[in-house]
Homo-oligomer: A and B are copies of this chain.
């Protein structure tokens, strides 16, 4: 029963759910401690503060946020569809990122910690342009942004319509096809 690592993990898990649901300002540390079957004192021992806990949660999901799907420069439509499915399966990841955007980083890169985390992906797109897969007239960074933008069209942070698991499979399939076709035509070359 006495296992600091497991307790820490339970706290992070509970904090993920709480922050994803209510954001930083709306999250309640008591709820997190209770949901994790622990207590606030331990929480503060591990993470220092409410903000520190959010940092830890975000760091844990960092890879899932920026690499929700593997990027293949030769198959950007497939990448977009994979992102659509990832956001559908894990809406909490998108919500966490969006809370961070709204409550922490109103402009610029979401992860503005000195390291340009998008650089490798931009390089992949640039390579795909050299290989004739992607329109070379476009800025590779813009291509990446646009593809992700299209994939987030029905995400839990969308303005118009957020997709949910309750919708018919046919609706999801229709969106996947429209998304793949749109990405293909928008940024890839005929080849």
A98: chain B residues at CB < 8 Å are 98, 102, 157, 159
Q: How far is the CA of A75 from the CA of B70 in the complex (A)?
A: 34
Number of copies: 2
The smallest beta-carbon distance between A32 and chain B, in angstroms, is 15
- Determine the chain B residues whose CB is within 8 A of the CB of A48 once the complex forms: none
B156 near A146 with CB under 8 A, answer no
Known: A23-B25, A106-B91, A181-B138. A153 touches B161 (CB 8 A): no
Residues of chain B with a CB closer than 8 A to A187's CB: 182
Whether a CB of chain B sits under 8 angstroms from the CB of A175 is: yes
Query: A107's contact among B23, B156, B159, B174, by CB below 8 Å, is which?
Result: B156
A153 contact set on B, CB distance < 8 A:
145-146, 148-150
Q: Which residues of A contact B (CB under 8 A)?
A: 22-26, 65, 91, 94-95, 97-99, 101-103, 105-110, 118, 138-139, 142-146, 148-150, 152-154, 156-164, 166, 174-175, 178-179, 181-183, 185-187
